Structure formats: structure tokens, C-alpha cells
Amino acid sequence: MCNAFGIVNFAGLNVKIKGLQDYRPAGAISFLGRYRLIDFPISNLSNSGVNHIQVHIKDKPRSLIEHLGTGRHYNINSKRGKLHILPAKSDVESEFYNHDIACYMYNMRAIEQVSYPYVILVPSHMIYRMDFADLLDRHIESGADITMVYQSVDNAKEAYTDCDVLNLNKQKGVLSIEKNRGNYKTRNISLETYVLSKELFMDLVKQAANTSSLYWFRDIVNDQCSELDIRAVSHRGFFACINDFKSYFEANMSLLDYDKAMDLFDDEWLIYTRTNDSCPTQYYPTSKVQNSFVSNGCTIEGTVENCVIGRGCTLKKGSVIKNCVISPGVTIGEDVHIENVVVDKNARVSRKKELIGEPGNPMYVKRDDLI
Amino acid sequence: MRQNNMLAMILAGGRGTRLEALTKKIAKPAVYYGGKYRIIDFPLSNCANSNINVVGVLTQYESVLLNSYSAAGSRWGLDARDSGVFVLPPREKDGAAFDVYRGTADAISQNIDFIDSHSPDYVLILSGDHIYKMDYSKMLSYHRQSNADATIAVLPVPMKEASRFGIMNTNEEGQIVEFEEKPEHPKSNLASMGIYIFDWKQLRKMLVADMDNPDSNHDFGKDIIPTMLNDGKRLFAYQFKGYWKDVGTIDSLWEANMDLLSKNNELDLNDASWKIYTEDVATVPQYIGKNADVDNSYINQGCIVDGKVKNSVLFTSVKVAKDACVEDAVLMPNVEIGEGATVHRVIIAQGVKVDPGAVVGDPNSEHIELVSKRVR
């Protein structure tokens, strides 16, 4: 048991995942074949003993709502626990006003009624493993007003564009939050994870709404850096921020390094997802598979190398699939050669025999597309 | 969501002695099959897919795991209102001696009160240790159409094997005129599958009479069906087409797993319209490593394969290390094959470790070896 409730926030305007995000919110994007991005923050919360989890959602909610369902599969207590889906206001004038503060204001009653004194706020588009019960203990012990989480990276020039960066003093106090414009190699990327009391959270939300109609939660926290005691905790280990198409592809690919994958996945820290009741995967005599993650329900007759293959894919005879991320339900036809491609859900590639993207700049095949 | 007024009773009390160590601590219906399933998933999923709402599972031998496993009705979608999986081991009752289930019919007799409480028109009797996909609602339609007192599902078997089965001899309309248990000179090749539909009121009367009959074995095949035929009741044979297996031995369990490897196999577990449901485990997808060579195999989630795997079935979270060679094998959940080990023609029981370099099984063996202890 953890004396906090969780809020899973939707992605900010800095998250632009070409193609994939046109059909679904970032949290509902398929990851490593059998998961969706939101499985990671929710499993972290659930494994930390957080029993009450609010998921705030805005546009294109269909696939996310379907995936979350009752929340039973996240191992949340079915009576004392709750997975609460809170939709944002639907009649906003412009996407710019459709921020997390607006959603929290709109759902303030639901937040107010929660009986836990602390809140753990997490993003839906970042992948990392963290015990929030420990984080909450640290937060309470330190006496800080807000505890944030960051990861120190050394590739901030080419990645993490427009992500939040924490400027820290030597005692890990947060001096300010700024956007990563790619000016420095080494930066402290914010995991957009906040621990604070429910009371302060509600105060800040209201204050943000009164300060500016364009403020996100991170903006009001930034404003308060000199007033409040805001401290940062460093996260080590696997971390992926899925903020664009490239980072999506690379995060999938990086887990093909098995040691990295085992850094994220732990037998004692399960990542839950919605079961699809698919049967095991069938490898036929003509198949040749190497260095790949393959989900259940596939039938494989082709060659697969360095790929992530989603549930229920059909890879026919003579097909060659290299360095690809294949979403669930995809069919790759006979003798089709694809390389460096992200194929979205249920697409079928059969007539065109060659689709080759550049390494580092993968191609994208749309959902339900027929090629 | 009352769909049809038929209640199912699954007989799941048997040990399956010939499965050796596999059934030492669990009953046969709980034995693993097909990469991720347990055998009882098949009748339970069939019930769920046939719109049967209430399922009783009669357990007896080593029932702890089977009881908790079956009782989780939500796995099969049998958890709506007026729906459920009820686990029924023998119990002490007011006014009756506490006794084991003396036979298949006695298991039902001892639960007459349970069945009455749901007041069904029909009762479907199933075996918990057969592998097949079947729409029981079609069998019920047939039962109603033929105005039968009981309907028995039958499977055509090769004539030369017919003497191993309970054989139904029928007239042109499909009405059963004679039942012969393991006949020396079979007159037909229609084998009973141990699947019966009865009108509950009629069956109830017969069970009450059977309970007090000192000469009875309290068995459907040996007692109830012959009595019904003698009494001139209308018994009909419902012919089933498709894959059906009773896996009684290590060899036949292995064969049934191997059947899944052939393309367009009859069981077709990938059929989205008739899914077989099972326990949901939270593992990562299977990882096929840089040194792996996977050929003609059936592999479940959570496996890590970096060696050679050919003509094999790998259950959840099996590990096959580099340079290991696994051929014609069934590896149950959490089996670990060490580097350089070779494995041929075996079933390896859940959680067993094969140490690096070890040699298990023989590619030329006549029978399949069951490995249930660590191999050093």
C-alpha cells in the first residue's frame, strides 16, 4: 500500500509522433509488440502499491479506453482500487487550450474526492521502471514541497527535442525548468514525474489556471521554483522518452540489446497489458529469425532480423524483414523485402516487393494500409 | 444473459496414471498442452464459446491447483451474472456419508442439489481431459430436433482401432441401437467421446435409482447408458468432425503437441472465432537471439531462444541457451536448457533445468522420455 494516488497525464504538445499519433493518443501507441506505452506508467504505479490511478485523456480516446478497460489486468484491487478514466473537456476552442491544467480543472471534483494525501504524477509517453513507494518515502523524508525525477543524458543535442530539462543546484534543488533546444550535449531530462501533496497539487492547478490560459502544469512548477522547495531525484537504468517518430523507432530497437531489455524488465516487477488470448507463435520450416522480439499469435515463414513483431502478424514465405517495428495484425506478403520500416496496425504489404527506409530515418506504413 | 437452458458438468477428477510424474502433484485436466494451455482450458473455453453460462467442475485427485485454476471464471468469460464456474470436489452432506466420487455417474449424483439449484432443462456431461474444439449448442439443437432422451457425441475412428473404444451401433436415423464397450468384433466405428446431453429430469431419476443399486459401478458408460437402452429410451449419436485427442500417455501427449506444428493443422488454435482461453501471464514477448536457429516450432511468450530449436513446442518463459540443440521436444513452462546441451524426443516437465553440455533423450528412441528432474 502506498499513501498516494496516481495521475497518468497525456502527452504535451512537444510530443509529435509522425503517423502513429494520428490514430491514437501517445499512451495507446503499440510498444515492443505486445504492450502499449501506457502499460509502463500504470504497471509502475500498480507495482508500487498505488491502488487508485487516474488516467487523464483527451483526443482520439477510443483505442486507449478499449485497452484500459476496467483495469483488472493491471493488478489493481477490484474493490478497494480504481482505474479512473477522466476525459478532458470536449469543446475547447483550440488545441493550445487543451492542456493538462484544463483537464485537471475540469475534473477537479474527482481529484478532490480522492482520500489519499499525496499524488504521483506520471507521463504516458515515457518508458522507465521505478518504485514510486520509495520515491514517496524519499519525498516525505526530505520535507520538500515537490519531488521531481530526471535522467542525465549525453545526447541531448540530437534527441529529446523540446523536452523539459531541469536546471539543478548542487543539492539537487530545481532552479528552473526549460525546454531542450539542443544546445548542450549533457542535460538533465525531466521524466515529467512529480510527487507532491494533493493539497499543493490542487493549489498549483488553480494558480496556473488563474495565471495564464496557456499554462501547463510544468509552467506553474517552473514559476514556483524560487518559492517552493522543489528537489530532483535521479533515475538510472533504461529510460526512453517517446516524443517523436525517431525516438519511437529507436526505443524499440534499443531493447533488442538483450541486456538493456533485462534492465527494463524484471521478474519481480511485471509489466501488465491487456491479454488478447492469442495462441503461441508458429515458426514454419522456411522461417529464419534472429535478434528479434516476437509476440504471440504470429505465423512466420520468412526471414526476420533485428525486428520487433507485434501480435498476430503473418510473415509469408520469402519475405525478408530487417530492422523493422511491425505493429499487431500486419501481413507481409510473399517475397516482400522491407527494411527500416515502421508498419502500423493491420496494414498489408504484398504487391510492392520492396520498401526500404534509410537507417536512422525509417519509413512509415499507415494503419490498415494496403500496399 | 441466459442463452440456453443447459448446464455443463466437467468430470475432472482423474489422475491419468500413465502420464507418470506429470500427474504426481496435479490432476490430468491440469496438465499443460500446446505451448500455453492446460487441457481443461479446452472444455471450459468450448462451454464459454457455446454460450453455456454455468459450468460445474468435478474434481477429486490432487485438486488444489485445479480448483483454484478453474474457479477463476473471468478467464473464460464465465463471470457474468447468472454465470460461473463452480468447483465441486466431494463434500460432506447432511444425512449422507462423506464419500469419494465412486464413478462418473456418482459424481453427478452427489451434486444433484447443485444442479437443481440452477434448474436446467438439459445437462451436458464432459470430460476434462480431452483436446478438441466443439460447439455444444449445435449438439443441443440436434438433441432437441431428434427428440432424444440422451445424445452422445461420437467420433468415427479407423475400424481396426475400434476395439479400443466404446462403440455405438446406430440405425439410419442416428438412433443408438446398441452400445458395446471395447468390442472384439466391432460392428461400427463410431466411438463415444464421453460427451453426453441428458434431459435433466430423466437423468435425475436414473441417478437417484443408480445411487442405491449395489451392483452398479456408478459409471455413465457401464451403467447409465446400457440401462437407458434396455429401457427403450431414445438415444442418439451426434457425429463430431474435427480434431479430438485423449492424451493418456507420454507418447500421445507428445504427439498431440507435435500435431500443432503441421501447417493447417485441424485444431487451429489461431482461429479468432473460437479462441481457447487460458491463464494470462505477464511476460515480455519471446526473444529470439542472435545465435538462434528456429525451425518448425511453436513458441510462447516469455521464451528466450539463443540456440537451435527444431520441431518443438516451447511453453511460457523457456530458456534455450547458445549452442544448445532442442529437437522433437516439448518443453513445459520455465524449463532451462544450458549452453551446448542436446535434447531429443522428450517432454521436459515444468521448471526443470538441463545443465550445460548435458545430453537428454535419444533421436532414435521408440518412446518419448519424460524428464522431470534436473539433468546435470
Mean pLDDT by runs of 10 across the 371 residues of chain A is: 91 88 90 94 95 91 90 86 89 82 93 95 96 95 95 92 92 93 93 96 94 92 93 94 93 92 91 91 95 96 95 95 95 94 92 86 88 83
Nearest to B292 among A278, A282, A289 (CB): A289
Partner-chain residue, chosen from A278, A280, A308, that has the shortest CB–CB distance to B298: A280
| Interchain CB distance below 8 Å, B286 and A291 | no
3-state secondary structure A242-262: CCEHHHHHHHHHHCCCHHHHH
Computed over every residue of chain B, the mean pLDDT equals 91
The secondary structure of chain B, three-state, reads CCCCCEEEEEECCCCCHHHHHHHCCCCHHHCEECCCEECCHHHHHHHHHCCCCEEEEECCCCCHHHHHHHHCHHHHCCCCCCCEEEECCCCCECCECCCCCCCHHHHHHCCHHHHHHHCCCEEEEEECCEEECCCHHHHHHHHHHCCCCEEEEEEECCHHHHHHCEEEEECCCCEEEEEEECCCCCCCCEEEEEEEEEEHHHHHHHHHHHHCCCCCCCCHHHHHHHHHHHCCCCEEEEECCCCEEECCCHHHHHHHHHHCCCCCCCCCCCCCCCCCCCCCCCCCCEEECCCCEEECEEECCCCEECCEEECCEECCCCEECCCCEEEEEEECCCCEECCCCEEEEEEECCCCEECCCCEECCCCCCCCEEECCCEC
pLDDT of B338 above 70: yes
Contacts of B36 in chain A (CB under 8 A): 279-280, 296
3-state SS class at A26: helix
- Asked if A291's CB is within 8 angstroms of B288's CB, the reply is yes
* A213 CB within 8 Å of a chain B CB: no
Does the beta-carbon distance from A279 to B270 stay under 8 Å?
A: yes
Instruction: Report pLDDT digits (tens) over B316-328.
Output: 999 999 999 999 9
Query: Could you tell me the pLDDT band of residue B2, with boundaries at 50, 70 and 90?
Result: low
What is the pLDDT at residue B165? 87
CB contact under 8 A, B282 and A33: no
Mark yes or no for CB contact A292/B299 under 8 Å: no
Per residue in B200-219, pLDDT tens?
Answer: 999 999 999 988 888 888 98
Rounded mean pLDDT, B164-169: 89
Chain position carrying cell 529507436: A250
B275 touches chain A (CB under 8 A): yes
pLDDT of residue A359: 86
User: Which of B339-354 are b and which e, b meaning 16 or more Cβ less than 10 Å from the residue's Cβ?
Assistant: ebbbbbbbbbbbebbb
Number of H helices, E strands in chain A: 10, 28
pLDDT at B26 over 80: yes
Res B200: pLDDT: 94
Q: Residue A79 has what pLDDT?
A: 81
Is A96 at the interface with chain B, CB within 8 A? no
Summarised one tens digit per residue, pLDDT across range B41-95 is: 999 999 999 999 999 999 988 888 888 888 888 888 888 888 889 999 888 877 7
Q: B-chain residues within 8 Å CB-CB of A273?
A: 282
Say if CB B218 and CB B242 are below 8 A apart.
Answer: no
DSSP three-state, residue A197: strand
Please say if the pLDDT value at position B3 is more than 70. Answer: no
Instruction: Provide, as residue numbers in chain B, all residues whose Cβ is less than 8 Å from the Cβ of A284.
Output: 263, 296
More confident residue, A110 or B98: A110
Neighbours of A223 (CB within 10 A): 18
Tens of pLDDT along B262-306? Answer: 988 899 999 999 999 998 889 999 999 999 999 999 999 999 999
| pLDDT given for residue B1 in this prediction | 37
A30's grid cell: 503499440
* A vs B: CB pairs below 8 A: 100
Mutate to test the interface with B, among A283, A298, A311 (most CBs of B within 10 A): A283
Q: What is the percent of chain B where pLDDT is above 90?
A: 66
Cβ atoms of B246 and B130 closer than 8 Å:
yes
Do residue A285 and residue B296 have CB atoms under 8 angstroms apart?
yes
More confident residue, A72 or B258: B258
Say if B35 is an interface residue toward chain A (CB within 8 Å): yes
B35–A279 C-beta distance less than 8 A: yes
Beta carbons of B298 and A283 less than 8 Å apart: yes
DSSP A169: -
Q: Is A306 on the interface with B (CB under 8 A)?
A: no
pLDDT band at B4 (very low <50, low <70, confident <90, very high): low
Q: Does residue B1 sit at the A interface (CB-CB below 8 Å)?
A: no
**Most confident listed range (A299-308, B19-28, B161-170):** A299-308
- Amino acid identity of residue A151, one-letter, is Q
Is B285 in contact with A270 (Cβ distance < 8 A)? no
